[in-house]
């Protein structure tokens, strides 16, 4: 019995993990373990012997059981100690900074423009960037031989050999969305259409892709006066200061009469300030929608009339945020984006003030 005791107490002390403890438990005090075998021998003993051996065996069984559970606890404690030691973490260390992306000034300005016009009851409409020449030109009263087609520096798509249909174009302005909106919703209409447009041109103030926002208001009693009010209201909200406008007679095939609109500005050490001084800066084309254009869009020009305008979004962004070179907008230079971009939670809004 003493041998049995010494053997198991020794083995338990040396056990390396919980699995070894479990093996020892089965071997020693399990149903078919060594103690159980000894218990069976009790039957062959004399009552006197049994009276001595019985309690001894039970005591041994208890002793081994408690040695097993003590060892189990100490193994678990050691494992915990080890985890605490190796998984130690200095919670006072500063976190690792992660760079956040920024809102591109074009996206920002598009949002601002949409918010201001939404406030005046204009919905946002969109159209495809690859257009048929009918929507981009013919429906806007620019027939095939018209010089405006050449002036627009149009990108044409390719047609297969022998396919004589006119090629699609990358839209040269957002004006085709006027026609699409007229077809889709009929009159009255009050929409703006922001989006990308394309012309083959590249220098400090021109990129082959740029952004416009078209405006279109059609109803039974719309006049040039409404156009002027809407534009002045827009510029004042956008620049956060009263901005005078100057309408100059101009020509577009899709409006009659047509006007180019300048905003009041002042040049100071090579940069421009809007809403001050007595210089003028051209920012948009506009006019009363030509009757032929209304007809092309399925609207009766004897009942309805309206105004339309097209503003360069990139130009607006340059003016408002003092960005000197248009090309940098599309260089995807992270330093530029960090400098001119907007934090996603720090965006100018109509209610919070549109200027920063």
Which of 260, 259, 264 is CA-nearest to residue 274? 264
Q: 8 or 198: whose CB is closer to ligand PHE?
A: 198
For the bound state, the minimum distance from the C-beta of residue 238 to ligand PHE, rounded and expressed in Å, comes to 18
Q: Measured from the CB of residue 247, what is the shortest distance to ligand PHE in angstroms?
A: 12
Q: For residue 253, what are the contacts with CB-CB under 8 A and spacing of at least 6?
A: 140, 141, 142, 146, 148, 290
What is the nearest approach in angstroms of ligand PHE to the Cβ of residue 255? 5
Q: Helix 18-29 and helix 34-41: axis angle, to 10°?
A: 10
Nearer CB in complex with ligand PHE: 83/251: 251
Using CA atoms, how far apart are residues 171 and 129, in angstroms rounded to an integer? Answer: 6
Q: Minimum Å distance from CB 188 to ligand PHE?
A: 18
Q: Which is nearer to ligand PHE, 195 or 287 (CB)?
A: 287
| Nearest-approach distance from CB 285 to ligand PHE, in angstroms | 3
Q: Minimum distance between the CB of residue 312 and ligand PHE, rounded to whole angstroms?
A: 8
**Is the C-alpha dihedral spanning 178, 179, 181, 185 positive or negative?**
positive
253 near 290, Cβ under 8 Å?
yes
* 11/152 with CB nearer ligand PHE: 152
CB 171 within 8 A of CB 198: yes
Token output for 11: 């083995």
| Calpha distance 354→315 (Å, rounded) | 17
Which CB atom, from 141 or from 286, has the smaller least distance to ligand PHE? 286
Smallest gap, in angstroms, from Cβ of residue 313 to ligand PHE? 12
Q: Of how many residues is the chain composed?
A: 356
Binding site residues, ligand PHE, CB under 6 A: 173, 175, 214, 252, 255, 285-287, 308-310
233 CB contacts (<8 Å, ≥6 apart)? 120
Cα-only R_g, the chain: 42
Question: Closer CB to ligand PHE, residue 207 or residue 286?
Answer: 286
Smaller CB separation from ligand PHE, 8 or 137: 137
Residue 137 backbone dihedrals phi, psi, to 5 degrees:
-125, -70
């Amino acid at each position: 019995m003493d041998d049995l005791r010494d053997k198991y107490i020794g083995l338990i002390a040396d056990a390396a993990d919980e699995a070894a403890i479990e093996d020892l438990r089965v071997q020693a005090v399990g149903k078919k373990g060594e103690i159980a075998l000894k218990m069976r021998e009790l039957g062959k003993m004399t009552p006197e012997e049994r009276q001595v051996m019985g309690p001894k065996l039970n005591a041994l069984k208890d002793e081994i059981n408690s040695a097993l559970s003590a060892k189990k606890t100490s193994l678990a404690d050691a494992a915990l100690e080890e985890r605490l030691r190796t998984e130690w973490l200095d919670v006072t260390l500063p976190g690792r900074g992660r760079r956040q992306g920024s809102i591109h000034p074009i996206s920002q300005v598009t949002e601002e423009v949409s918010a201001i016009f939404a406030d005046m009851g204009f919905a946002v409409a969109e159209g495809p960037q690859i257009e048929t020449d009918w929507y981009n030109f013919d429906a806007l009263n620019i027939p095939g031989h018209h010089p405006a087609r050449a002036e627009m520096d149009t990108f044409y798509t390719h047609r297969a050999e022998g396919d004589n249909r006119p090629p699609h174009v990358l839209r040269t302005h957002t004006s085709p969305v006027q026609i699409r909106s007229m077809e889709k919703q009929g009159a009255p209409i009050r929409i703006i259409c922001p989006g990308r447009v394309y012309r083959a041109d590249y220098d400090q103030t021109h990129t082959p892709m740029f952004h416009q926002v078209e405006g279109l208001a059609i109803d039974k009693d719309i006049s040039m006066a409404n156009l002027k009010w809407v534009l002045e209201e827009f510029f004042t909200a956008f620049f956060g200061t009263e901005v005078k406008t100057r309408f100059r007679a101009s020509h577009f095939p899709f409006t009659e009469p047509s006007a180019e609109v300048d905003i009041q500005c002042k040049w100071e050490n090579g940069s421009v300030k809007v809403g001050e001084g007595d210089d003028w800066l051209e920012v948009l084309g506009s006019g009363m929608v030509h009757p032929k254009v209304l007809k092309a869009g399925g609207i009766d020009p004897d009942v309805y009339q309206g105004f339309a305008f097209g503003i360069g979004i990139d130009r607006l962004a340059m003016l408002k945020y003092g960005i000197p070179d248009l090309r940098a907008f599309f260089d995807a230079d992270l330093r530029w984006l960090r400098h001119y971009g907007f934090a996603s939670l720090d965006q100018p809004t109509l209610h919070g003030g549109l200027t920063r």
